[in-house]
Structure 1
Amino acid sequence: MVALYLSLIDKQEEKNRFEELYYRYRNLMYYIAYQVLHQDRDSEDAVQEAFFRIAKNMDKVKDIASTETKNFVAIITKREAMKIYDKKKKRDEDFDVDLTNIKKHNSENLVNEVKNAIEQLPYKFSSLLTLKYVLGYSGKEIAEITGLTETNVRQQLMCGRKKLSEILEEDL
């Protein structure tokens, strides 16, 4: 199966990194997908779709062992699993998101408050906010990664920021 994904990548260096990423994170990705879908076949489909997205965006992955890459892989996998879930159930449900590996800043109290507020958001908003503001991807890159349109990414980021602001205002 790895050969299929590798055929999507042009540069040999990126192929080598993808292969390392594949073997390092495939079990984690399956675990994440299974937590959402609770079915083997659907979970495998979600992981397969996630690997296709990652292969197409391999130029954005630098250090395979980094927390940033692990979060990137987890977000892509969970979004793909959520797409399958939504298609099957035709409804939008919130799922907990694990953001324990977010980069540490000087003011840990503020970071913890923001992290807790992000965890309260629906996954479709929390994942996009994480890609944008924690991992630093542009709207165009997020659209490529998630399969959404740039307009949809901007709208969901705007809604996510608004909801995040409301949650933070309640807590203060």
Structure 2
Amino acid sequence: MNEKRASIRFIERCYKLYEQKMYHVAYCILRDEGLAEDAVQEAFLKLMKSNVDFKDVKSDECKQYIITIIKHASIDIYNRKKREQELIFFSDENSDFDRSKPEALDEQQQQIREVMDKLPAKYYSVVNCMVVKELSVKETAKELSISEDNVRKRFERAKLLLKTIMKGCGGYEESRAV
């Protein structure tokens, strides 16, 4: 029991001492306030799970360990966001789009617009914000006046719908006007 309390106190001291520094590191990597806050939270969760306890919170080893954790958490979030923003039709299974030929880019963009136009308005707006405008989930939720969970779910459903449209299975023809 004392070991658990000591671990909690260690985390509290780390939070008071390094929270702002961790936020700064995360923001430098992610360039987004909300994502930087998420990275700090994830880093502290990882810190709690690791059960690491340095004798001195201000030691160089502790500081370096915490900086490493926040860097990794930030990079993980960055990579997740990047994957989230890539539309399904840029994957290898859809060979209609060839990224290796610059002259095919205009044709690809036209095909992308045509496919996106087949999405219902609520899905189109989420995809447009997150992929075209490159907004975060938080920013998209604010712009569309919906919850972040709703943004994630609509984006997930939009990707599935795009995949269906791209494969030509199930003649889904509902327009954005609906």
Confirm or deny a common fold (TM above 0.5). Answer: no
TM-score, length basis structure 2: 0.43
| Higher-Rg member (1/2) | 2
TM-score, structure 1 length as denominator? Answer: 0.45
